[in-house]
């Protein structure tokens, strides 16, 4: 196939969109890693096509087109990390502008915002993005960006994407850019552009690449005016993903649908197991009808990521012991890989967030976040079982 064109299934696009063999001189079926950062020009007075690596690169281009297609978006841009993608977005703002941001979000996003606004003279207000009234009240005449994450990390709160887009776009002559971090569910389970947001942001480092061997980020959007601004920022400041990382991420996308299905199933299996445990105080999983946004999750997304967050009976000592007793779940600072990971959020991803703020959003020393991987669910449960037994012996 040289063009995914009329074939619109997600799985089909993950494999074919942007991968057309006839864009390559050797008609490669697998997109090659093009390392040349400059390209011969027949007409020295008029540069054509790819001409310098900072502006574009064929391997990167292939990934960007695949990502855009997967979100049913027009444009994709890839960056050397998720944080670099957020930084690129912040370059749309200028001194005196105002950001409304979700309070509950990835710790790195919060600290990046706080750092950037101080240097640039930008204002920010943090709100509970599950509460439309708080968002409405926070918007000011100089608000230029609304940024949120759904579901949030690690407490899996869902914000209503369509309602937020509608509310925010009804203010300030529709000039506020609404951006959502879609790292947790990926475009396989949730496509925010279809609910009216302007920009979808990813840490591709997580599920999208899915193999914990690439650091990368992306922005996907429909609006060509915003895209052109972002493209200029990207080429000027040089925040681009390398051909090798682009190749690996593109390769990861080919199996994303299969991986997400398994993450979703395994996550549910682990969550139901944890519910039966006497030394578990609380389990957070959006598939539970008791989850406060269970209905919203079903309405705006079509499956669950592999994150299961729970509170263990005790404090830091018990959490630490439990994590150290696990064998398959590896203690580390990431999520979304084929392998299962475990983290004490208060001590890793949210260590920079003040304790009162952390606890107000539900992250305690006893909060353990599992990123359930693709292993056999039975083995994962066996691992948790032996860790509970050892910890509470
Ligand atoms: C990891 C992560 C980021 C930051 O991405 P990097 O690739 O680490 O820069 C942003 N948002 C979420 C939800 C994340 O999990």
CATH architecture of 10-253: 3-Layer(aba) Sandwich (3.40)
The domain spans of the chain are 10-253, 257-391
**pLDDT surpasses 70 at 127:** yes
116 CB burial (10 A radius; 0-12, 13-18, 19+):
middle
Pocket of ligand 1 (CB under 6 A): 81-83, 106, 108-109, 149, 153, 181, 183-184, 203, 205-206, 215, 217
In this structure, what token pair is assigned to residue 188? Answer: 């396989």
Burial of 166 from C-beta contacts in 10 A (0-12 / 13-18 / 19+): middle
Is the CATH number 1.10.10.60 carried by domain 257-391?
A: no
C-alpha to C-alpha distance for 132 and 317, rounded to whole angstroms = 38
- How far, in whole angstroms, is CA 309 from its chain's centroid? 17
- Give 319 Cα–ligand 1 centroid separation in angstroms: 24
The pLDDT score that the predictor gives to residue 352 is 80
Residue bearing the CA closest to ligand 1, atom 4: 82
- Whether the CB-CB separation of 91 and 67 falls below 8 Å is answered with no
Structure tokens at 56: 């574009």
Q: Is the dihedral of CA 237, 226, 104, 95 positive or negative?
A: positive
Helix (H) or strand (E) segment spanning residue 360? helix 355-360
In whole angstroms, give the CA distance from residue 47 to residue 344.
52
pLDDT of residue 236: 93
Q: Is the pLDDT score of 2 beyond 90?
A: no
381 Cα: distance to centroid of ligand 1 (angstroms): 27
- Which of 90, 205, 335 most suits a substitution to test ligand 1, by most atoms within 8 Å of the C-beta? 205
| Atom 5 of ligand 1, residue of closest alpha carbon | 82
If pLDDT is split at 50, 70 and 90, which confidence band does 4 have? low
As given in the structure block, the two tokens for residue 308 are 């299961």
- Report the DSSP beta bridge partners of residue 126: 101
Residues belonging to the active site:
54, 106, 181, 206
Largest CA distance in the chain: 77
Q: How many CB atoms lie within 10 A of CB 27?
A: 10
Q: What is the per-residue pLDDT across 274-329, written as a single tens digit (0 to 9) for each?
A: 999 999 999 999 999 999 999 999 999 999 999 999 999 999 999 999 999 999 99
Give the length of the chain: 393
pLDDT in the model for residue 5:
67
Token pair in block for residue 233: 């920022």
| pLDDT of 3 strictly over 70 | no
Atom of ligand 1 nearest to the CA of 205: 7
Tokens representing residue 41 in the block: 């020009």
Residues 165, 171 contacting (CB under 8 angstroms):
no
* CA 151 to ligand 1 centroid distance, Å: 13
Ligand 1 mutation pick, 78, 80, 81, 82, max ligand atoms within 8 A of CB: 82
DSSP, residue by residue, 105-146? S-HHHHHHHHHHHHHHT-EEEEE-TT-HHHHHHH--TTEEEE
* Residue partners of 116: CB distance under 8 A and separation at least 6: 87, 90, 122
Which has the higher per-residue pLDDT, 216 or 333? 216
Q: What is the pLDDT of residue 182?
A: 98
Question: 6: closest CA among 22, 14, 17?
Answer: 17
Rounded to an integer, the average pLDDT of 69-75 is: 97
Q: How far is the CA of 150 from the centre of ligand 1 (A)?
A: 13
- Give 181-236 pLDDT, tens digit per residue: 999 999 999 999 999 999 999 999 999 999 999 999 999 999 999 999 999 999 99
Ligand 1 geometric centre to CA of 110 (Å): 11
Does residue 28 carry a pLDDT above 80? yes
At residue 278, the pLDDT reads: 97
Q: Whose CA is nearest to atom 11 of ligand 1?
A: 106
Average pLDDT, the chain: 96
Confidence of residue 383 (pLDDT cuts 50, 70, 90): very high
pLDDT at site 1: 47
- Nearest atom of ligand 1 to the alpha carbon of 336: 15
Nearest CA to ligand 1 atom 1: 203
Region of 186 (left: φ > 0; alpha: ψ -120 to 50; beta: rest) is left
List pLDDT tens digits, range 236-283: 999 999 999 999 999 999 999 999 999 999 999 999 999 999 999 999
In this model, does residue 164 exceed pLDDT 60?
yes
Q: What is the mean pLDDT of residues 355-373?
A: 93
Q: Report how far ligand 1's centroid is from the alpha carbon of 30 (Å).
A: 28
């Amino acid at each position: 196939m040289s063009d995914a064109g009329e074939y619109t299934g997600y799985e089909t696009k993950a494999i074919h969109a942007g991968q057309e063999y006839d864009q390559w001189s050797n008609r490669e079926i697998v997109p090659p890693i093009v390392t040349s950062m400059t390209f011969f020009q027949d007409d020295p007075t008029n540069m054509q096509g790819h001409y310098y690596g900072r502006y574009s690169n064929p391997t990167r281009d292939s990934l960007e087109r695949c990502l855009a297609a997967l979100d049913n978006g027009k444009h994709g841009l890839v960056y050397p990390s998720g944080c670099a993608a957020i930084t690129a977005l912040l370059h749309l703002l200028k001194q005196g502008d105002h950001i409304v941001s979700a309070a509950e979000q990835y710790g790195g996003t919060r600290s990046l915002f706080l750092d950037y606004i101080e240097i640039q003279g930008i204002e920010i207000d943090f709100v509970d993005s599950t509460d439309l009234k708080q968002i409405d009240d926070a918007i000011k005449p100089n608000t230029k960006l609304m940024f949120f994450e759904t579901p949030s990390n690690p407490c899996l709160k869902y914000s209503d994407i369509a309602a937020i887009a509608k509310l925010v776009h009804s203010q300030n002559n529709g000039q506020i850019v609404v951006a959502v971090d879609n790292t947790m569910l990926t475009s396989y389970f949730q496509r925010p552009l279809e609910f009216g947001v302007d920009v979808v942001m990813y840490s591709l480092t997580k599920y999208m690449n899915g193999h914990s061997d690439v650091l990368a980020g992306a922005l996907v959007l429909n609006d060509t005016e915003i895209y052109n601004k972002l493209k200029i920022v990207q080429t000027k400041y040089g925040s681009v993903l390398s051909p090798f990382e682009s190749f690996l991420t593109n390769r990861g996308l080919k199996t994303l649908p299969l991986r997400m299905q398994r993450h979703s199933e395994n996550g549910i299996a682990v969550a139901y197991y944890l519910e039966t445990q006497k030394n578990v105080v609380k389990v957070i999983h959006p598939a539970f009808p008791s989850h406060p946004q269970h209905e919203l999750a079903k309405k705006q997304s079509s499956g669950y990521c592999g994150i299961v967050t729970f509170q263990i009976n005790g404090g830091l000592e018990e959490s630490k012991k439990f994590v150290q007793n696990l064998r398959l779940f590896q203690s580390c600072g990431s999520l979304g890989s084929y392998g299962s990971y475990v983290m004490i959020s208060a001590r890793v991803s949210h260590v920079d967030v003040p304790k009162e703020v952390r606890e107000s959003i539900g992250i305690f020393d006893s909060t353990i976040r599992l990123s359930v991987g693709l292993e056999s669910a039975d083995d994962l449960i066996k691992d948790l079982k032996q860790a509970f037994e050892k910890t509470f012996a």
